[in-house]
Chain A
Amino acid sequence: GAVVSQHPSRVICKSGTSVKIECRSLDFQATTMFWYRQFPKQSLMLMATSNEGSKATYEQGVEKDKFLINHASLTLSTLTVTSAHPEDSSFYICSARDVGGANEKLFFGSGTQLSVL
């Protein structure tokens, strides 16, 4: 079945570095991908909607210059956390829409646990 691949699964980095997270749809084309963030014991919060070939749409309170999203192809979206700080430590997860079948489906990547020291 359809699979969304997300890498890396875990990142530990120093404060001030940038981290790139990739999200790939493996056997379907995803014109739209979503990026979520989840802090411990909290719900998944939508950060932004990534649209292939156009600018991402960010949710209120999410800094677009800090969380750079690129969706250059129909199968790949990337999220770059620029100048990461300890408060950015969180579980980041992407999901992709597959509209190819009779019913639209959303598939999730396996998530990236980011720890900023």
Chain B
Amino acid sequence: RKEVEQDPGPFNVPEGATVAFNCTYSNSASQSFFWYRQDCRKEPKLLMSVYSSGNEDGRFTAQLNRASQYISLLIRDSKLSDSATYLCVVRRQDTGRRALTFGSGTRLQVQP
């Protein structure tokens, strides 16, 4: 089983739509959670960190459920520029490593 699992998509949505991505992680030692965005053949860019209380940044809302080991990202009022692959990312504390573990990503295509 992969450490971080995501639905690969693609999600094809019209401009203005609301879209939600889900992610599950298998290791309960995971302590930090993030959503990254990656455009084709580019480096991933941090979209937002995810906190247990839930957090919002403009049109983006992230939620974390530690009991279910589940993370979500909600995008409201989708723009064409939101088209990208969204990576669910966790970082474990138990091994002492500080590297990130990436999900394989969910591809979003926003259409005019």
- Extra 15 A-B pairs, beta carbons < 8 Å, given A32-B98, A49-B97: A34-B99, A34-B100, A42-B104, A43-B4, A43-B87, A44-B87, A44-B102, A46-B100, A46-B101, A91-B41, A93-B43, A106-B98, A108-B43, A108-B45, A111-B41
Is the C-beta of B42 less than 8 angstroms from some C-beta in chain A?
yes
* Alpha-carbon distance A36/B101, docked complex (angstroms): 10
The reply on B54 being an interface residue by CB < 8 A is no
Q: Number of A interface residues, CB 8 Å?
A: 22
Q: Does chain B have a CB within 8 A of A110?
A: yes
Q: Which residues of B contact A106 (CB under 8 A)?
A: 46, 98, 100
* Residue A65 is within 8 A (CB to CB) of chain B in the complex: no
Q: Decide: A111 and B87 in contact? CB cutoff 8 A.
A: no
- Inter-chain CA distance A113–B102, complex, in Å, is 19
Q: Report chain B residues within 8 Å CB of A46.
A: 99-101
| Cα A111 to Cα B99 with chains together (Å) | 17
Contact A108 B44 (CB under 8 A): yes
What is the CB-to-nearest-CB distance from A5 to chain B, in angstroms, rounded to a whole number? 11
Among residues of B, the one whose C-beta sits closest to the C-beta of A4 is B43
Task: State which residues 79-112 of B face A: CB under 8 Å.
Answer: 87, 97-105
Shortest beta-carbon distance, B85 to chain A, in Å? Answer: 9
Tell yes or no: A87 within 8 A of B by CB.
no
Report the separation of the CA atoms of residues A43 and B105 in the bound assembly, to the nearest whole angstrom: 7
Q: Is A7 an interface residue (CB 8 A)?
A: no
A residues less than 8 Å from B43 (CB atoms): 93, 108-111
Closest 3 CB pairs of A and B: A43-B104, A108-B43, A44-B102
